[in-house]
Structure 1
């Protein structure tokens, strides 16, 4: 078997924590080229992880004949540019989440991917509840809670509470777009469980309007520190109630609670535990995840195996049941994310974009 030759653009935090360890554990992988923002950073990564060489530019890496697949680990502002260019050059693509800065860029990425059905185009998945996600999905599908009346999620922390903390790229829409706090990451998982969202009402707050950048210059913050949203569900009579904040001290643990006509589920996202009770039962009890439904982080192997199989559709059904999102799924969560931010900015309810027959 010929080695799968991989180039990486943007080998920063999560790439070094997750993707490079995951790739180097696999057999038949060759790390060909790496390109970071500086040559010094690229060289350091190349030495540490055993890349064949440093690429001076993303274009040079993508156009190299000895690169089969491109991993994009940059901030979202480059995702659509690099992924589209790579697909046009016949390269498989794995892009870091969130998919893009906004829905328009995500839709362009999907259109480009559909021109090349022979190539794998994949997005890094949400880590939320990865160990028990299939279990929850199965419980809901089998009617454990019945039709959903309310889904409640909160993520409350103090990561942005200090007004003297320097501005992050995550707080700059030119780099991160509409992606706010953990909104897209949780929407990806929740929509896998309860289906599409049709409309959104939301509010957002910036408690700190200006922060200093790396040079000490005072710059305006244009991303919310806190967002609350109510999202109507297409397949259930109820709605999602979401509250995300980076400005609150001593917030509770991150948990999803799903209240239905027939029962309730509570999912601890960090611990991958599920508790539930049916109507008439006294209290929530632990519902252990069956081993056959438990999943660990296997993202890099998923990408490589999909390429070697000639596409995700050619993998065994048990592998396809819980797979990293493709670009179509990414567009769906980007559409809801954009609706939330538009609703928060405008103070008006927003319909969620739906594809027409040509794009569906």
Structure 2
């Protein structure tokens, strides 16, 4: 963050110490491993255990359940420091699943899963999207049919982050197909170890984020205890998803802003060093004006993000603000990054340059967490 900003209310001496700890860990442990992650298409199970030992996982979960005992600010700091280093690691997904368990789980469920998630021994994924539904969650087809004290699950999910390493899946499934779609969906925790009928597909070939674990998962007569249902009864899944989506959208927003800030820093350094027609590229008015626009956008964004984080810390974030944040930050990220690629010229299209990887990695930000078209619908519904 730049020194010209007023100190945000959510930043404290404790959060600054935590940020420095996270930054050192990411720079020494994760950043150097990125080529290996990209080749393997996932960070590996050992990375999760390292992150757990360093306190990066479940930073905002109470210590009684093995978490860091912090608040949303601590979770955002982890997201920001990973983004600042260009590292794509699914700890925010781990945090989202933890929030589902913390918000809707029984005491036994919390004590069974959260400490192991915090240590990195359990890697969590959230399985909502299906090949034919996208953002249309009420139309999901995966079913969890009650059978005695178990659910029998059939169906498939796609674009599952952390999917190939996950041994804990937070699954959205229809537990009742005889009622309206919004009343028949439930969230169920699936423990995947040695689970008959559960299958993980090959890593998906993505445009960007090549080190991030993403795949399809399949269920064929998979049996899960009814005790793994989240919530007091069936049919609350869509409500639960709606309540937790603002949290997810703000983590996406934070990553978007930090990525734009990183792109701006890298590009400013590049145009100062690079010469054309006998002068530095930054000496051209077009370059200076384009970067001035990018700097203004990121500065305004930092003020907005600080306000959103403070609202979330105090429990005052709302669906509208989170939707506006996700829309604005990811759109702004893309505009800034694309401008920065252009100012790199041909080298901006070469993957040996960080700006090219930032460009390919950034494109998905406007798609997941609810597409930006859906964000427009949410915002427009309040007019």
TM-score by length of 1: 0.31
Q: Which has the higher contact order (CA 8 A, sep 6+)?
A: 1
As a proportion of its length, which structure holds more strand?
Answer: 1
As a proportion of its length, which structure holds more helix?
Answer: 2
TM-score by length of 2: 0.29
